[in-house]
Chain A
């Protein structure tokens, strides 16, 4: 396969969650999301109750992909920040380590300047964590198997059951 699968364990998830909670406080944000570039939601912070997070993740990734396409047409490698301003809420989207998308939704209690500043700081820590995840996945791929693979004994029947 062209890229390797993203595998995340409890330990890394906790560290990511910690960073998100910190950013959530410091940036005075309403909601934060981390989305994989392929459109899968990785983590979130804040009040996600009224938001369709799955759809938001997929559309954000589509947005980043389209913007990346425009960038390459113009000879840029990537546009790393997108910002959409609304009447009440604003959305700040940034790329972290080429692989993960950080989405910050904020209102008038915060400001674009503050969000940019805090996102920049948080990006560095998050990049490190995701680098470690990638390294760990690569190591496991080379050395062979994870301990508790959910796929080890998957059968035709298991899959049939999904479609009953």
Chain B
């Protein structure tokens, strides 16, 4: 649910990075933070535990530029991936405009990916959203590791509808901006449909 302010000529959109624990959601945001000009970003807020696991959410406001005289601002959020933070995940999805699902490519995490995706579907449905109707991008992360599942196999399992996906190594920044750009594009085009 975006916020369009004609008074300050701003458009605000909310993008949520979702996925199983340790899949690299926070790493995506950290890389975006690192590579963005200081005047285009706000503070990266991380509500994390002492061991740097996300406790509630990470938040990064980005203000990349103008479209038709309107300042476009994206608010990027991550959810806590660990299973027992289910209640928090639900809260963060409130008012979401677009979702990036970060999948962990390691073979032993296939099941965790499937569970998390199902969790996403259920949590969205509870708030009246349908995953298929929302701007939604799949990121296959950690492609540099040795024990990964082939892309085809991951798509068969996680992406039966053939949505846009990107292979990524978030630690090195590979695929990070491609993913963000793609979801941002979908979000803005979705707004175009409504306004």
Contacts and interface: CB of A to CB of B under 8 A. Distances in A.
Contact of B91 (A52, A62, A153, A159): A62
A1 B129 contact: yes
A116 B2 CA distance: 30
Contacts of B75: 39-40, 58
A114 interface: no
A66 B184 CA distance: 27
A4 B12 CA distance: 14
A150 interface: yes
A50 interface: no
A10 B1 contact: no
Contacts of B95: 3, 36-39
The DSSP consensus for interface residues of chain A is mixed
A66 B92 CA distance: 9
A65 B94 contact: yes
Interface residues of A, number: 46
Contacts of A154: 67-68, 188-189, 192
Given A9-B6, A55-B42, A39 B14 contact: yes
Nearest to B90: A69
Nearest to B128: A2
Interface residues of B, number: 48
A10 B68 contact: no
Given A5-B1, A66-B88, A163-B177, A153 B68 contact: yes
Interface stretch (B54-62, B100-108, B114-122): B54-62
B188 A151 contact: yes
B185 interface: yes
Contacts of B88: 66, 69
Contact of B6 (A10, A62, A156, A158): A10
Interface of B: 1-8, 11-12, 14, 42-43, 45, 47, 56-57, 59, 61, 64-65, 67-70, 72, 75, 87-88, 90-92, 94-95, 127-129, 177, 180-181, 184-185, 188-189, 191-192, 194-195
Interface of A: 1-10, 12-14, 36-40, 42, 52, 54-55, 58-59, 62, 65-66, 68-69, 141, 145-146, 148-154, 156, 158-163
26 contacts: A3-B128, A5-B195, A6-B4, A38-B1, A38-B14, A39-B14, A39-B59, A40-B75, A52-B42, A54-B42, A54-B43, A58-B59, A58-B61, A146-B195, A148-B6, A149-B195, A150-B70, A150-B195, A151-B191, A152-B192, A154-B68, A154-B188, A159-B185, A162-B72, A163-B64, A163-B177
Given A2-B128, A5-B4, A8-B3, 6 more contacts: A2-B127, A5-B195, A39-B75, A58-B61, A65-B92, A159-B181
